[in-house]
Amino acid sequence: MFDPLAFRSALGSFATGVTIVTARDASGAPVGLTANSFNSVSLDPPMVLWSLSLHSGSLPVFRDAETWAVHVLAADQQGMSDRFARPGQNKFEGLSPADGPEGAPLIEGCAARFGCRARFEYEGGDHAIFLGEVIDFDRREAEPLIYHGGQYGRIMRAPTGADLEREGLAEEVGEKLSLTERGQQLLEALERVAKR
């Protein structure tokens, strides 16, 4: 048996986005939770998956739901992620969500949304794996929220040499690109922040 903490932190090296998965229970009440186990599976037919802890209060609802929706959170939705990661609360308080075309509650302001017909449920140890067929999706140009090592983060696109030159952070010396003094100072400052 592995050391559970070491195993968790090794899994946390895999950077993911953050989603909120929603459905309606049998009485029509909205249900949802924060999940980063979301992944794409198939293009044709279009399919996605995510996994849910067997200890989750939402499990019976997702087991019975005919449709559910995955909302890929935008960088400014960290508060929503925290809200939907708290068990046993009325997570939709003050939201009164409309439904998406597939019939699951809609979270506004996301980077993307996948409305799914529930297809399969698999056993995955202490999680249930849900596979859905995407019957509707939506996307807007928005920076995504990132999760890595138990912390939220933002995307930083790797800068090209041309980007650095344009900003005066690097210059061509002979055939090679070297950091300017300003570039060197910025790099050192970023490294100091990243180590904190």
Ligand X SMILES: Cc1cc2nc3c(=O)[nH]c(=O)nc-3n(C[C@H](O)[C@H](O)[C@H](O)COP(=O)(O)O)c2cc1C
Query: Contact positions toward ligand X, by CB under 6 A?
Result: 18, 33-37, 50-53, 56-58, 81, 85-87, 147
Return the number of other C-beta atoms located less than 10 Å from residue 57's C-beta: 12
Q: Please state the closest distance from residue 155 (CB atom) to ligand X, in A.
A: 16
Q: Which is nearer to ligand X, 76 or 171 (CB)?
A: 76
Alpha-carbon distance values, 138 to 37, 109, 130 (Å): 20, 11, 20
The CB-of-190 to ligand X minimum distance in angstroms stands at 25
Q: Which is nearer to ligand X, 97 or 186 (CB)?
A: 97
CB of 162 to ligand X, least distance (A): 35
Distance of closest approach, residue 96 Cβ to ligand X, in angstroms: 19
Q: Which helix or strand (DSSP H or E) is residue 16 part of?
A: strand 16-17
Assigned token pair, 16 = 């993911």
As a whole number of angstroms, the distance between CA 30 and CA 66 comes to 14
Residue with smaller CB distance to ligand X, 126 or 175:
126
| Shortest Å, Cβ 88 to ligand X | 6
Residue 64 or residue 163: which is nearer to ligand X going by CB?
A: 64
CB 28, CB 103: distance < 8 Å: no
Contacts of 15 (CB under 8 A, 6+ apart): 146, 147, 148, 153
Q: Which one, 33 or 134, has the nearer CB to ligand X? A: 33
